[in-house]
């Protein structure tokens, strides 16, 4: 049998070519959907949004510019004219707009954002949740702090605050706690929430199961209006009234003291605060330096070898071995480790160690 090749007429060829051009290559639609989905589900939707905004700004720079057209003349395609391609216009390429190249947006070049933010344990327990702090000028009424109790620097007034009206109350400060559980704007726009309190109450929750916080930060005016103590730790951001949910009050009281807390017992809840832990420097400024006696007649000193510290009691502790609580801090003033006992192994990178000795004496070591 003779076979022949059939050649379509010119109009048919034209129609086939048009159809082929209109159809996408196999898998292109699926790939695009995956890319867009990934942009939003992998926690980087903010970056996707910033890129979209940059493109829109680039379009607006020329009257006849089409979608995605850069008319700035620098050749990088982002339309800002600095040539680095990140679209913020500062020329350093990190995209935060402060010009120092470290990407944290605070302009100091060190990449940590310290001085402008305070960092919390966060849902991943990596202290990656960092919130901005502000220095209101002037402070509204209701924020007049009393002079420090007996000169104790842990009772000094804050110098910066969280602006609750500018923050998400649902921000996770720890795996099981959000910002609104520690501070609410209905009590006052500005608040202090100390990171060590968040860390300790999360430690308690890890052991006890669900816990309820029925009172956290109180501005001094609000605290006075409800009859709170003059130097209530609620005003300093590390005092919490905690309701037991799945354990007894007695068990919750034990957890408070086991986690370095100062306990006040109530019939309905537990007050737990961390008054002996040094106040956070971001909120309260520079800490006290040097030994601070809390009671007369006691003396001790810290000895150290590399990252190992131990306490030597010199005088006053004649009834037994004192309880010693340790806190290590890094160069940014963030607490990086806690311990209890006569010795303490500090984490790498520690620049300062504080110890509370029997609640009668406080000592401090600083790297020189």
Kindly report, residue by residue over 227-282, the tens digit of the pLDDT: 999 999 999 999 999 999 999 999 999 999 999 999 999 999 999 999 999 899 89
CA 197 to CA 277: how far, in whole Å? 9
CA 276 to CA 240: how far, in whole Å? 14
* Burial of 3 (C-beta count, 10 Å sphere; 0-12/13-18/19+): exposed
- Three-state SS for the chain is CCCCCCCCCHHHHHHHHHHHHHCCCCCHHHHHHHHHHHHHHCCCHHHHHHHHHHHHHHHCCCCCCCCCCCCCCCCCCCCCCCCCCCCCCCCCCCCCCCCCCCCCCCCCCCCCCECCEEEECCCCCCCCEEEECECCCCCCCCCCCCCCHHHCHHHCCCCCEEEHHHCCCCCEEECCEEHHHCCCCCCCCEECCCHHHHHHHHHHHHHHCCEEEEECCCCHHHHHHCCCCCCCHHHHCCEEEEEECCCCHHHHHHHHHHCCCEEEECCCCEEEECCCCCCCHHHHCCCCCCCEECCCCCEEEEEEECCEEEEEEEECCCCCCCCEEEEEECCCCCEEEEEECCEEECCCCCCEEEEEECCCEEEEEECC
CA 71 to CA 64: how far, in whole Å? 10
* pLDDT for 77: 52
CA 192 to CA 180: how far, in whole Å? 12
CA 164 to CA 131: how far, in whole Å? 10
Contact 283, 158 (CB under 8 A): yes
Contact 220, 143 (CB under 8 A): yes
In this prediction, residue 75 has a pLDDT band, given cuts at 50, 70 and 90, of low
Of the ranges 4-8, 14-18, 240-244, which is most confident? 240-244
* pLDDT for 298: 80
Which sign, positive or negative, has the C-alpha torsion 216, 220, 224, 225? Answer: negative
**How many other CB atoms are found less than 10 A from the CB of residue 254?**
17
Kindly report, residue by residue over 299-344, the tens digit of the pLDDT: 888 898 888 998 887 788 878 888 888 988 888 777 788 888 999 9
pTM over 0.75: no
CA 147 to CA 134: how far, in whole Å? 22
54 φ/ψ angles, rounded to the nearest 5 degrees: -60, -40
Specify the higher pLDDT residue, 367 or 113: 367
In this prediction, residue 24 has a pLDDT band, given cuts at 50, 70 and 90, of very low
Kindly report, residue by residue over 101-150, the tens digit of the pLDDT: 444 444 443 333 335 899 999 999 999 999 999 999 888 999 999 988 88
Which sign, positive or negative, has the C-alpha torsion 61, 65, 68, 72? Answer: negative
């Amino acid at each position: 049998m003779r076979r022949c090749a059939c050649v379509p007429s010119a109009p048919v060829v034209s129609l086939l070519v048009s159809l082929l051009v209109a159809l996408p290559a196999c898998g292109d639609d699926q790939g695009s959907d995956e890319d867009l989905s990934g942009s939003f589900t992998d926690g980087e939707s903010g970056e996707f949004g910033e890129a979209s905004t940059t493109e829109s700004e680039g379009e607006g720079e020329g009257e006849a510019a089409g979608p995605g057209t850069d008319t700035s003349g620098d050749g990088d395609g982002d339309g800002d004219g600095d040539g680095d391609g990140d679209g913020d216009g500062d020329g350093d390429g990190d995209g935060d707009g402060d010009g120092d190249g470290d990407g944290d947006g605070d302009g100091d070049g060190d990449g940590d954002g310290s001085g402008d933010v305070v960092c919390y344990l966060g849902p991943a327990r990596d202290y990656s949740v960092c919130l901005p702090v502000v220095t209101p000028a002037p402070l509204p009424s209701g924020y007049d702090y009393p002079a420090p109790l007996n000169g104790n620097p842990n009772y000094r007034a804050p110098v910066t605050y969280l602006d609750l009206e500018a923050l998400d109350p649902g921000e996770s400060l720890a795996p099981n706690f959000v910002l609104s559980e520690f501070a609410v704007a209905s009590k006052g726009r500005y608040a202090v929430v100390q990171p060590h309190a968040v860390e300790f109450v999360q430690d308690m929750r890890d052991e006890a199961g669900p816990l309820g916080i029925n009172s956290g930060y109180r501005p001094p005016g609000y605290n006075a209006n409800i009859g709170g103590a003059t130097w209530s730790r609620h005003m300093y951001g590390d005092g919490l009234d905690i309701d037991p949910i799945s354990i007894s009050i007695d068990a919750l009281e034990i957890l408070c003291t086991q986690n370095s807390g100062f306990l006040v017992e109530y019939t309905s809840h537990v007050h737990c605060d961390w008054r002996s832990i040094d106040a956070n420097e971001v909120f309260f400024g520079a800490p006290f330096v040097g030994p601070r006696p809390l009671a007369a007649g006691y003396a001790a000193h810290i000895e150290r070898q590399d990252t190992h510290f131990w306490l030597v009691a010199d005088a006053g502790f004649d009834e037994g071995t004192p309880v010693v609580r340790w806190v290590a801090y890094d160069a940014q003033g963030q607490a990086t480790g806690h311990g209890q006992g006569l010795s303490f192994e500090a984490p790498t990178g520690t620049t300062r160690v504080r110890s509370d000795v029997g609640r009668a004496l406080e000592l401090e070591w600083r790297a020189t």
